[in-house]
Each structure stands twice: as C-alpha cells, then as structure tokens.
Amino acid sequence: MGDSAVNRNYVYTNVNGALCDLMFQLLREGDEFDSRAGKTKELTFVGITLEKPWQREIVVPYRKANIAAQIAETMWVLSGRNDVAGLLHYLPRAADFSDDGLTWRAGYGPRLRNFRGADQIDYVVETLKANPSSRQAVCSIWDPTVDSTPGKDIACNNWLSFSSRHGVLDLMVGIRSNDAIWGWSGINAFEWSALLEIVAHMAGLEVGDLHFAVTSFHLYEQHWDKAEQLSQVEGNYLYSDSPRFDSLEDNMKGFDRLAEAWFNLERRIRTGQDIGSEVETFPEPMLQSWLRVLQWYWSGDVGFLYQLQNTRLAQACLVGMKPAGEPQPYLADLGQLDMGFPKPDMLAHINKLHAEKHAAYGDSWMKRGEIGILGNIARKVDRIGIGLATRDEAQADTAQDLLVYLAKYRCWLETGTGDPDEVAEVLNNLTGAHRELDFDAKLDELFSMAQTSRPSADRAKVVDEMLEASYGYALSLW
C-alpha cells in the first residue's frame, strides 16, 4: 500500500480484506485526538477501493456484524424511507439519532429518491442508459438547507458519482466523516455496493469498483480492542458469491414494486405470520436471499439458510449476531461454521478417487519431472481461473484435481514420490481455512524456483499456501 502517512489510497478485493487491514492502519498510523463523541484514532483524506464490491458480506470472525440490520437498512434507504419505525426492529437505538423520534432528518432514502421532487437514482439509471459514458450520473446527499443547522443527524455520506467506461460501472462515494465500525463496515460498504449492483443491472452494465473518498476515517476508543483483534486476522476467506441482483425490472419504478412486495414479506416474517411459499417464488434472487436471512433471523431456524450453503451471505449470518444480540459460536480455526447440515466427507471421496487413478496411471504424472508436474497444476489453475466447465469436468472436479496435484507435488518435493497414502496424509492435515490467493502469482514463483534450483523447503512453503487455499475452494464447491 505504500507509506500510509503519505499515500492513503488502499485497494482491496472485498470488504473483508479491507476491514482487517484498515483496522491495522488506523491503530498503527492514526492520529489520536478527542472528538465530541470521545477519543478517536483518525486517518484523513483516505481513498478505499473494493474491486469485488458484490462480496459485501462480512465473514470475518470478531466483527459480529448484524447482517439482518444491514439488509433492512439497505432496503430502507433504497426505498426512499427515513422513518425510525422502519429501523427499530433491527437497530434498537435508531431513535437516539433522531431529533423528533420519528424520522432521521438526514436519512439518505428521501434525499436519493425524492430530493425536492427529484428521484436521483432513477435519473442516474436513465442517464446511463442514454449515454453510458456520461459524467453527469451524480447524486447529491448533503443538503445545506438542513445539514448546516444543528441536529442529531447530519449526513455523513455526501455524494455519489457513477462512471461507466468499457461497459463497466464504478461508483465513487464522497464522505465527510466515516466511523470504521458503525459506519463504513457497519452499513456503507454494504448499502452502496447493493446500489451499484442494482444500477449497473438496470443500465445493462457490469459491476465495477466501489470507491470511497473519506475526509475523516476514524475509530472510536470503545472499538480499539475489537480493531486490534481484527487487525490480526487474515481477512480473505473463500466462499461462493451470494445471489446477485437479476431482475426483468429495468427502472426504479420496477424496483419499487419489488421493494413493496419485499417489505410486505419482511413484516409478515418479523411478526410470525404464515407466508407459505411466497419467499420461494419471490421474483428476484438477491432480494429473495435477503428474505431467507430474515426468516433465519426471526426464527433461529438455520434450515432457512439451507439454499445459501457455502455462500458469503450464509457465513455472514453465522459469524454475526443473533436477534437477541448474542454472538453466534464459530470455529475460529476453520473460519467456517457447521450449519447443521449433513456433509459428505470430501477428503474420503478424493482419496478413494486418487487411489483408483493411481492404480490405473501409476507414476505417469511425474514422468516429465518438476516442470511437467507444475504444468499439470497450471492447467487446473487456468481452468478454474476462467470459470471453464466442460461436459465431463465441472468446477468442483477441477478444484479437487488441483488439490490432488498440489498434494502429489508436495510429496514429490519431500520424498520424490506421491503414492495414495502419502497424498492422503498431506490432505488430511489441511485445516480447511478459507483464504483467497493469487494462484497465478504463486505458480510463477514456483516455476522460477524450479528453474533456479531453489531449495525444496522454499518451494514447499509456497505449495502449502496453495494447498490451504485450494482446499477451501474445493470445500466451498463441495
């Protein structure tokens, strides 16, 4: 990232990696000072970019984010609402930030959907449809007629600027003041990534980067211990993406129809009414998945998450908060929770399959030496990297093959062989930690080491990293 005291522009894959590193940056580089809300650590004029903003769910242990509250507040904003009653069921302290106990005067919803009669989101969608390269797809949130006067609620997020180039839509969010826990990771990264995804879909564009330009990025003293825990965690976890926004509606009036139906179901779920199969038939997958989360949230029945297994959304439920505010138990060493579903033994399946293949093909896999072994690994990495699935080899099969080839290579480095018993021992010692890894870069490193005859122990360290990451990926597909 460079010297954070000079260059405070940070680029991350998603919110999870960003959260952990930003906590580290704030604790180590932040200036300590007193604010009206207490002692803080602060970085000024910070740029944050998320390259895969649709991976918006926080799956990092220790953060204990309330995914149901993030969903409810996001829908509340996108629907143009600012009523406190709409948030109280998920954010019990919502009234504390209201001057009259009834509304948030700086609520983003009305400012985006009805700013003095203008639906700014609808304007952005139609502007991008007419001219995807327009530089005028901008929304104003700061209202000087309101925000320049004293009050409990003054807009922290101030403007949105959408920019499309080469068929890809980015969003820049301008923020005057951003608390890293309650604000940025609590709701902003979630809500604006959802808006970006919806606008991109309606305008016929791909989702690009989500950028934040923050004047004051800070951390309150009450969160310093939590931040220290987070700063020590590997923030990248490999789970399947959650359902993406995909609707036949291509304008905000259509979205409002979806939102009206969604809030009707939300109310009935929350109050324990029978909704039959209405969630199953909800016509849009992202909003449908959010309803499944609310079914789990209000009932405590993990079965409602069954169809979301191995997704970031399901994991966010399990490492987050229960309705009563009690933290969910988690297995910190795995970074993954047992959802109570029966899970076949993937390693037993892989070891059995490898033994059968070894009986048929023997040691042909190492016939051409180390470069040949690496070539086999490279082909599997390439196949996964481009998302290729042939009629006879699905992504899950490719992930398992990659895992076996890496284990065989690890054995070859150690003993010069790779029989089924040795491979099984390597696989059975994996922890299952889910980490994202640049496989192409690691392969380049291994090829270079092989060509320069670097010690086997150096190569083994790289292979061990790839083994853990590929195991996590294979598990997520399994």
Pairwise CA distance, residues 11 & 357, whole Å: 43
**Three-state DSSP class for residue 12:** strand
Copy the structure tokens of residue 163.
Answer: 């920019």
Copy the structure tokens of residue 440.
Answer: 């192409």
Residue with tokens 């109570």: 340
Copy the structure tokens of residue 367.
Answer: 């016939």
Q: What is the DSSP string of 302-325?
A: GGGGGGGTTBHHHHHHHHSB-TTS
Copy the structure tokens of residue 461.
Answer: 């360290």
Copy the structure tokens of residue 74.
Answer: 């996001």
Pairwise CA distance, residues 84 & 243, whole Å: 29
> Residue 130 — left, alpha, or beta (φ > 0 → left; ψ -120 to 50 → alpha)?
alpha
Q: Report the b/e string of 196-226 with b at 16+ CB within 10 A.
A: bbbbbbbbebebbbbbbbbebbbbbeebbee
Task: Give 393's DSSP letter.
Answer: B
Pairwise CA distance, residues 73 & 247, whole Å: 21
| Element holding 35 (H helix, E strand) | strand 31-35
Catalytic: which of 20, 139, 156, 317?
156
- Check if the beta carbon of residue 437 is closer than 8 Å to that of residue 464: no
Catalytic annotation present for 156? yes
> Residue 40 — left, alpha, or beta (φ > 0 → left; ψ -120 to 50 → alpha)?
beta
Say what the alpha-carbon torsion angle 111, 117, 119, 120 is, to the nearest 10 degrees: -60
Pairwise CA distance, residues 67 & 79, whole Å: 18
3-state helix, strand, coil in the chain (%, to 5): 50, 15, 35
Pairwise CA distance, residues 367 & 391, whole Å: 28
Pairwise CA distance, residues 433 & 388, whole Å: 25
The residues annotated with a catalytic role in the active site are: 156
